[in-house]
Amino acid sequence: MISMIAAASLSVVMALSQEVTGQDLNNILERADKLFEEAKTAYEEAKAQSSVPGFIDAGFKLEGARIKYLVLQEISQGEKQRIAVDRMRAVNQLNKLVNEGKLAINKAPAPEQPVVVAEPAKAPAALPAPTPRPAIDVSKRAKVPEAGTLKDVEKQVKDLFKEQYPKKSQTDRQALARMLLLQADKTMDDPLALWVLYREAQDAAVQACDTRLISTAIDWTARVFDVDGMSMRAAAFTAAEKTAKSPAENAAIVEHLIAVSDEQVAADQYDGAEKILVTAAQCARKSGDPRLTLRVGLRTKEVTEAKTLFRAMKSAIETLAKKSDDPSSNLEMGQFLCFAKGNWDLGLRFLIKGSDAVLKPLAEKELALPTSLADRAAIADAWADLADKEKSPLRKTQMASHARSIYESVLNDSTGLLKARIEKKMGELGSVLATKQAPIDLLKLVDPGRDAVAGQWKLADERLITPAVPSARLQLPYIPPEEYDVTVVIKKTAGSSGFAMGLVAGGNQFAVGIDGYGGTITGISMVDGKPSNQNDSTRKVSVFTDDEPRTLVFKVRKEGVFVLSNERELTSWKGDSKRLSLPAALAIPSKESLFVSCHQAEFAISKLTLTPIRGQGRSTAGQSPK
């Protein structure tokens, strides 16, 4: 299926020369539009069926359409060039929805929250999901209203929120942005009012330097109006840099700017990606985190290299249009897709027809889809070895990331020496990827006075001290990505019961209890509605047996949850994250955030970090859980 899509996406791309006729351009546009329509249909079907393969299929069709629209932008002019530019905006928007769909397969719907817009003081701290409505065709979104048509609506909006607009504190600006968005969700039948509400919400969110609200305002806008959401995000987060005051706010902006640069690279907008990373570097310096500065520097080098690969790929398209099996051009296309885009599924199909004596046979082995664990590990070994020898930052990190993903698919079913070897190799890859996926210091984000949910938590000597009360809880101001590791260095100082790490997988919140039930049980709470002493994850093991600190690592992956203490496995569980839930006694205000908890015991936490593995997390520092 993939190779057919790849061939279809290139077979109609005409030579980039002066001999292209008007009919050639018509054919390219017609077939691009056909693929785009197929991608939209595949997306809707995947969304309805919660199908990851369906989203992948939609993505491949969308890539085929994108290449053709890209060619039209290069070789046409006038009306067809304008159409191609418009279509590319829709392609970028649908690509974002496709990626969101894959990430949200297992995400539980947000609970409904009652809102009284006319009473600003009662606005909720968190936004519910937008009200479900009929699917919006991203190629037929509403036009942005003319400025002259908005004066009456602008006055009505400001009159409605006249008590809130004069308030300028960060908290007040956040409240205004939330209320505007909530009102917008009730005003979908009035395009003029909807545009003003979205625009004002974005402005208020930028003034508050609330990166999550900025993203929400722009995402909701781009679902309805024919705007370039990617460019809006770039402009908004750049503007937010001027309002950021704390290191945490600057760090949050860096994360979003890097995400926008990734989006721009996916859309082949390399100049924009380079420009936005300059702002990211400034924020990284203000954050005071040298690892963040290194990460931005590495990403900048990667974007520059990806830009070079893109230029080479554009010339390869011309050759492939004439001769689809040309080895040199297939190598250029394969390298671009694998090393610049990280699209290994499609890129490998080009590498097997390429001219590289190393990459070609390795791609052939991987595409043979071996079932043996040893054979799959050997393929990961080969990519890891290439990464170890590679000098290019972009190629090194892409190869290392790909090798790690293969290792992870093998690890949990491996035993004995094979498992030990894979764990060792993954540790070596961890050092290669440490800068790209820099750990987030969660302790630096914590404010006990703001984040405590139950009990009197405190920071002393750079350690978080827990209260020895029943079900003490502190909400961590961070929403994790799809896959991640949480590392905790912790020491018990008093009490007989245990510690719990609150986690999120696939949108479902749960906790891993360590030394629960009087110091005797470690396990997940809950699995299939059963507590940590009655489910598949239950282990009769004690961890805090002396006054020495322990290093706990909680690994959240698509396939399950894995917990280690001082590098030894405590418990593991594999299954659908929908089976995970949180007992009422451990509830916290945000259903998306991490948290820490203890029960009638005092602990000192000296390290608490999150390392992203897949996806994008975000800080919520400054947003009270109360």
pLDDT tens across 309-318, in order?
888 777 777 6
Q: Scan for tokens 């990617």, then name that residue.
A: 230
| pLDDT over threshold 80, residue 127 | no
Per-residue pLDDT tens over the stretch 294-339: 889 988 988 998 888 888 777 777 676 567 788 998 898 888 888 8
| pLDDT over threshold 50, residue 150 | yes
Confidence band (pLDDT; 50, 70, 90) for 349? confident
Residue 438 confidence (pLDDT): 60
Residue 434 confidence (pLDDT): 55
What is the helix, strand, coil percentage profile of the chain, to 5? 55, 15, 30
Averaged pLDDT of the chain: 83
Any idea which of 174-178, 251-255, 576-580 has the lowest mean pLDDT? Answer: 251-255
Per-residue pLDDT tens over the stretch 222-258: 888 988 888 999 999 999 999 998 887 888 899 889 9
The CATH number of 120-132+139-305 is 1.25.40
* Radius of gyration for the chain, computed over Cα atoms and rounded to the nearest angstrom: 26
Mutual angle of helices 211-224 and 247-266, in 10-degree steps: 30
The CATH architecture that domain 370-433 belongs to is Up-down Bundle (1.20)
d(CA 9, CA 35): 9
Are the C-beta atoms of residues 586 and 466 closer than 8 Å to each other? no
Per-residue pLDDT tens over the stretch 357-367: 999 999 999 99
Confidence band (pLDDT; 50, 70, 90) for 12? very low
Q: What percent of the chain has pLDDT over 70?
A: 86
d(CA 41, CA 48): 11
Collapsed DSSP state (helix, strand, coil) of residue 316: helix
Per-residue pLDDT tens over the stretch 27-50: 878 888 888 888 888 888 888 888
Residue 10 confidence (pLDDT): 41
Confidence band (pLDDT; 50, 70, 90) for 14? very low
Are the C-beta atoms of residues 490 and 604 closer than 8 Å to each other? yes
Q: Is the CATH code 2.60.120.560 the one for domain 440-619?
A: yes
Are the C-beta atoms of residues 511 and 501 closer than 8 Å to each other? yes
Global confidence as pTM:
0.58
What tokens appear for 351 in the block? Answer: 């590498």
Residue 21 confidence (pLDDT): 65
Please state the domain extents for the chain: 2-106, 120-132+139-305, 370-433, 440-619
- Identify whether 526 is preceded by a cis peptide bond (ω within 30 of 0): yes
Mutual angle of helices 170-184 and 211-224, in 10-degree steps: 20
Mutual angle of helices 373-389 and 359-367, in 10-degree steps: 150
**Which residues, 6 or more positions from 231, have their beta carbon under 8 angstroms from its beta carbon?**
272
Per-residue pLDDT tens over the stretch 422-450: 888 887 786 566 555 567 889 888 989 88
d(CA 603, CA 466): 5
Q: Scan for tokens 């015991």, then name that residue.
A: 601
| pLDDT over threshold 60, residue 111 | no
d(CA 343, CA 334): 9
Per-residue pLDDT tens over the stretch 510-536: 999 999 888 889 999 999 999 999 999
For the chain, the distance separating the N- and C-terminal CA atoms, rounded to the nearest angstrom, is 50
| pLDDT over threshold 90, residue 351 | yes
Biggest distance spanned by C-alpha atoms of the chain: 82
d(CA 588, CA 582): 10
| Cα torsion angle, 318, 321, 327, 329, sign | positive
Determine how β-strand 478-479 pairs with β-strand 440-441: unpaired
